[in-house]
Amino acid sequence: MKKFNFRKVLDGLTASSPGSGSNSGGAGSGSVHPGGTAGVLREEIQESLTSDYFQICKTVRHGFPYQPTALAFDPVQKILAIGTRTGAIRILGRPGVDCHCQHESGAAVLQLQFLINEGALVSASSDDTLHLWNLRQKRPAILHSLKFNRERITYCHLPFQSKWLYVGTERGNTHIVNIESFILSGYVIMWNKAIELSTKTHPGPVVHLSDSPRDEGKLLIGYENGTVVFWDLKSKRAELRVYYDEAIHSIDWHHEGKQFMCSHSDGSLTLWNLKSPSRPFQTTVPHGKSQREGRKSEPCKPILKVEYKTCRNSEPFIIFSGGLSYDKACRRPSLTIMHGKAITVLEMDHPIVEFLTLCETPYPNEFQEPYAVAVLLEKDLIVVDLTQTNFPIFENPYPMDIHESPVTCTAYFADCPPDLILVLYSIGVKHKKQGYSNKEWPVSGGAWNLGAQTYPEIIITGHADGSIKFWDASAMTLQMLYKLKTSKVFEKQKVGDGKQACEIVEEDPFAVQMVYWCPESRIFCVSGVSAYVIIYKFSRHEITTEIVSLEVRLQCDVEDIITPEPETSPPFPDLSSQLPLSRSLSGSTNTVSSEGVTKDSIPCLSVKTRPVRMPPGYQADLVIQLVWVDGEPPQQITSLAVSSAYGIVAFGNCTGLVVVDFIQKTVLLSMGTIDLYRSSDLYQRQPRSPRKNKQFIAGLTELNDSPVPLELERCKSPTSEARENSYNRSRSSSISSIDKDSKEAVTALYFMESFARKNDSTISPCLFVGTSLGMVLLISLNLPSSDEQRCTEPVMVLPSGTLLSLKGAVLTFSCMDRSGSLLQPPYEVWRDPNNADENEKTWKRKLVMNYSSASQETGDHQYAIICSEKQAKVFSLPSQTCLYVHNITEASFILQAEVVVMCNSACLACFCANGHIMIMSLPSLRPMLDVNYLPLTDMRIARTFCFTNEGQALYLVSPTEIQRLTYSQEMCDNIQDMLGDLFTPIETPEAQNRGFLKGLFGGSGQTFDREELFGEATAGKASRSLAQHIPGPGSIEGMKGAAGGVMGELTRARIALDERGQRLGELEEKTAGMMTSAEAFSKHAHELMLKYKDKKWYQF
C-alpha cells in the first residue's frame, strides 16, 4: 500500500484568500499542484487505489435494439437474433441471456440465418458482406467474412443440416457458399439460364430461395417480377417455371413439398401446385372486397411476407403481414392469422419489420406444428401464442419498453439497501398488465447463473410523459420494479376555456428533467421542465388526501451602479439561434395572455385541488412551482438536492436559489444568485426589472437519432466565454465579472454536516451551492434541536459569507474526514408516514449522522472535494485552504463528475465532452485512468451518462437502449463469469419415421450429395474477383494474422501472393472474355457470309 504525504493547514494559522490554491492553476492540463501555505503539519493519508484497479469495458446492453431490420430463430437452441440498421446484433435467450455484438463496418444487417443447433450465425450486411459468427463463446466473434465485389446480396437460405449457403443477388444470380471454409463454390445459377430464353425482360432481384422439402436436389428461386423457377441442381436446368403478373414478396412451402404459397404486391395470396404450374391452384385477396364473379378482386396493400405452416390435427396456419384494404388508411399495421375459416387481424402499435413462426420441428418435410409467432416491430418485440384461440401475447421478460416514453434522465445506484428491491417489486407487481398467455416465454435458450456480483443495483429512468421507472439492475440484468406517474399530481392540460393553444405548455409539459433519491430514507424528489419540484414519500398504505403545493416567485437581477457598461458575451447565449429543435420552456413566445393581461405569479401547470387517491408506493407530499414574473416564464431548474435528516429541499436555476422546508411546508429562502453574495460583497447593487430575455432549452424527448452537430448543441461550456478572462483574477475582479453577467445559474447543491464559516470550531448543517461561474457558497442551516420544535419552530437559513472558486461551472461536491474516508450526508431512517399502528405522539425521528469518528463531532477538520467543468480542487475545512488542484481539461469540458466508492476507497470519476473517462484518487487527485472511450455525438449521452459506486456507469446509447460499462479491473476480469452462455449442448431431435410407402412414392429415392455437386472437384473454383474471403478476428487465420514477428511477415507475404493471384485471375477472366467475343464475332461473320453467298448483285 502506497503512502502519500498530505498537507493539513493549521486552522487560523494563515489568512490567505479562499482561492489561493488557484495560483497554480495556470499549469498545463492534467497537472496536479499542492496548494502552498505557511505553517503546515504533515499527515499521512493512506490511498489504497492505484491505476491497476481500473480498466474500462462495456458489460451489457439493455433495451430494444434501435432501428431493427432482421430476425432469426434457432428452433432447437431456442434463441432469437435481431439485426439493426446500425450493424448491431442482439441475441436473446432465457432471462439473463442477452448478448450484443457489432459489425465493425456499421453496415445495416439485411438478413440473419442460424446454423441450427450448431452454435453459429450467418449475417448478411448492406455492404454485400457475409459474416459467420461463433456463438459458442460468451462474446460472439466473427470467424469468416466474404465480401461480394460485383453483385449485391438480396436473399440467403441455409438448408437444415447443410454446409452450403444459397445466396441470391440483385442481378438475379444465385451463388453457393461453403459455410465451413467460407469460400464461394464454382456452381452458379445464372438468371438467364433459369428463365426461358424467349423472355425478353430481366426477372429482377432474387427475393426467395428454398430447397424443396420433398427433394433436396431441387431449389425454388423467386424473382421480384413474379417469376418462380424450380431448379434441378443436378441436371442444372429449370424443371418448371411459374409466371404471375404481380410482384412477389415472399414464398413458403407446404411441408409435403407439392405446393407453395406466394404473397404479392396487390395484397393477394397465390397457391401453386407443382403438377399444374400454368396457373395458380388458388388465388385469394384476404382483405379485398368481394366482387362479382369473373371480376378481379379490388387490390389491397402488399402482403410483405406469408408463412404457410401445417398441423397434424387441425387446419394449416396462414400468417401474413400487410394486405389491408387501401380505403382504410388510418388502420394500424397488422398481422393476419388465417386458421381454417377463421381470420384474426392483430393490430400493432408500430410498423412490422419482420415476423417468424416458431415451430416444434426443425425439419421442413414434417408437420410444422406452430406454437407461436415472434413479431419484430419498429419499436417493440412481441410473441403471439398460437395454441390459444384468442391468440394472447406472451409476457416479455426483457426490458424492451425502456423507450415506452422517451428517456429524459437517468440515475444509477449500486450497493443500495437490499430490502428496497423486494419492497418496490411488491408494490409494482400489483399494477402489472393482465391478459398475457399463461405459458412460459418460448425463447428459453442458453444458460445463465447469478455470478459473483451479488450486491443490489437500481436504475431510475425519467421520461417525457412524466413517468418514473425503477429497475432492478442486479447481476447484469434489468427488470422493471415500479412505475410512478408524476403527471397525476397535475390537472390535465385542456385547450379552450378562453385560452389559446399557444399558452399551454407544448409537447411533454410533464417531462422529467432531474431526479434525486435517498435510498435509506426513501425520499424521492423530481423536477420537471415546467419548473416544478415534487417531494415524494414512500408508504405501504393507500391514502386519499389533498396535495399541498407552494408557489415561489424567484426574481432577481441586479444593476451595476459603479460601472454601467453594456453586457457583452453573456454566460447563457441565445441558444435559439443555435438549436433548431429548441423551444421555450413555456411553450409560447408570447408574454401576453389571450385576455391581453401580462402573465404574472402564475405557474405553468395546475396542481389538483380536490382530494386525490394515492395507491401504495410513492405518494406526493409537496409540490413546489416557480411562477411567471412580469410576463417572463420561470426558468428551467438546473440543480436539485434533498436532505431527509434536515427535512429540506433546495433547487436552483439561472435566476437564483430556493430552499424549502418540506416538513413545515414553508419557503425558507428564495433569493437571486447575486443576492447570495451580499454578506461578503464589496460593492453595492440595486435591483432592477427582469430582463426581457427568454431562456430556450433543447428538447429532452427527441427520438429521432439524426445527429445534430455537437457544435450546434454545445460548442463549449455555456459559461466559458464569459469567464475566460476572469479565472486568475482577484476576488474583486471575479465580482466584477459577475456583475457583467446577466445570469449566474446554480449548477450544484449538496447537504452536509460541515464548517459553514472559516475557522469554525464545530460542524453544523450546511448547504454547498455551486454556480455556473465556478463560485462555491456555503449556506448555514440553523435547525431546531428537538423533534417537537422541528415541526413548529422556524428553520434559519443564512449565507455564511464563505466563498471558494474554481474554473468552469461547478458540477459536484463531496467531503472526507481527516483519515481520508468518504463522509455520507446524514439521513432519516425510513418510517411509513401512514402506518396507523404506530403512535405518532411517542414516535421520534431517527437520524443517522454518518460520523466516521467521535472526533468529528468535536470539530476536527474535513476535506471538501469540488469538481467543475475544468478542474477539481480539494479544500481543507474550516481553514478553507486549497490543498490540491487538478486541471482536468483545457480544450474541452467535463459533462458528468461524481465522487464514488471503489474497493472501499473514494475516487473522482469524470466523463469529458471529448469522450475521455478519467478517474482520480482522493484526496491527492492523482490520475488513475484516462481513456478515450466515447466521442460525444449528441446531447442524449451527456444528459444520461452517470457514474455510481463499485466501478459501474451507464448511458443511453440510443433512444431505446441503455449501455452499461465498468471502470473496475476486477469486474473486467470476471465479466465472462457474469454473462450468459448462448450455446448449450442439445441433441438434435430425430426426424419422424415417414413410413415405407411415403419413402417410396413421396419423394426422390436417391440421396443428394451437395459436396459432390458444389465441391471444387466438380464445380471448380469461383472467380476470385467475384468475392473476397476475409478471415475474422475469431478465426485461426485472424489470430495468426494479428500475430507479430515472423508469423506477421509470413501473413503479409501470403496476402501479397493472394492479391497477385487475384490480379492474375482477373487477367485470365478478361482474356477469356475477349476470346469469347472473338468467337462470337467470327460466328456472326460466317452466318452473314452464308446468308448472302448465292445472291446476285441486284438482289441486295
Which residues, 6 or more positions from 699, have their beta carbon under 8 angstroms from its beta carbon? 581, 582, 583
CA of 840: how far to CAs of 334, 616, 844, in Å? Answer: 57, 20, 8
pLDDT by 10-residue block (mean), the chain, 1100 residues: 38 35 39 48 71 95 97 97 97 94 96 96 97 95 95 96 95 95 93 84 94 94 95 93 94 96 95 92 88 69 96 94 81 92 94 96 95 97 95 94 95 92 93 88 92 84 97 93 96 60 63 96 96 96 95 70 36 34 36 58 93 96 94 93 96 95 95 79 39 40 42 36 34 35 84 92 94 95 87 90 93 93 93 73 75 51 95 94 93 95 94 95 95 84 94 96 96 90 94 59 58 82 86 62 44 55 67 74 74 58
Q: What's the predicted TM-score (pTM) here?
A: 0.83
Q: How far is CA 797 from CA 687, 753, 803, in A?
A: 22, 14, 16
What distance in Å separates the CA atoms of residue 382 and residue 309, rounded to the nearest whole number? 19
| Cβ–Cβ under 8 Å, residues 303 and 277 | no
Phi, psi (5° rounding) for residue 720? -70, -35
**Cis, peptide link before residue 362, omega less than 30° from 0:** no
In the sheet with 282-284, reading across from the earlier edge strand, the strands are 248-253, 259-264, 269-273, 282-284
Amino acid making up residue 24:
S
What letter does residue 981 receive in the DSSP assignment? B
Alpha helices in 456-515 (DSSP H): none
Neighbours of 760 (CB within 10 A): 18
Q: Which amino acid does the sequence have at 791? A: C
The sheet carrying 174-178 orders its strands as 153-157, 164-169, 174-178, 183-189
Q: What is the pLDDT of residue 716?
A: 36
H-only helix segments in 675-814: 710-714, 720-723, 731-740, 787-790
> Residue 881 to residues 762, 769, 949: CA-CA distances in angstroms?
17, 18, 28
CA 713 from centre of chain:
20
State the cell numbers at 727. 479565472
Task: Please name the amino acid found at residue 428.
Answer: G
> Cα–Cα distance between 490 and 484 in angstroms, integer?
14
Distance CA 850, CA 828 (A): 11
**Residue among 415, 742, 769, 452 nearest 573 (CA):** 742
Contact of 399 with 478, CB cutoff 8 Å: yes
Widest pairwise Cα distance in the chain: 131
Q: What is the spatial distance between Cα 146 and Cα 486, in angstroms, rounded to a whole number? A: 52
CA atoms within 13 A on the CB side of 518: 29
Residues 917 and 145: their CA atoms lie apart, in Å, by 33
Distance CA 416, CA 394 (A): 32
- Look at residue 226 and give its three-state secondary structure: coil
Residue among 57, 6, 96, 8 nearest 974 (CA): 57
Phi, psi torsion values for 272, nearest 5 degrees: -115, 140
Q: Which amino acid is at 606?
A: S
For 787-798, b/e burial (b = at least 16 CB within 10 A) is eeebeeeebebe
User: How far is residue 368 from each of residues 221, 590, 1004, measured CA to CA in Å?
Assistant: 22, 65, 21
What pLDDT shows up at residue 876? 93
The CB density around residue 550, as the number of other CB atoms within 10 Å, is 17
Cβ(545)–Cβ(611) below 8 Å = yes
Contact assessment for residue 110 and residue 119, using Cβ atoms and an 8 Å cutoff: no
Confidence at residue 911, expressed as pLDDT on a 0 to 100 scale: 96
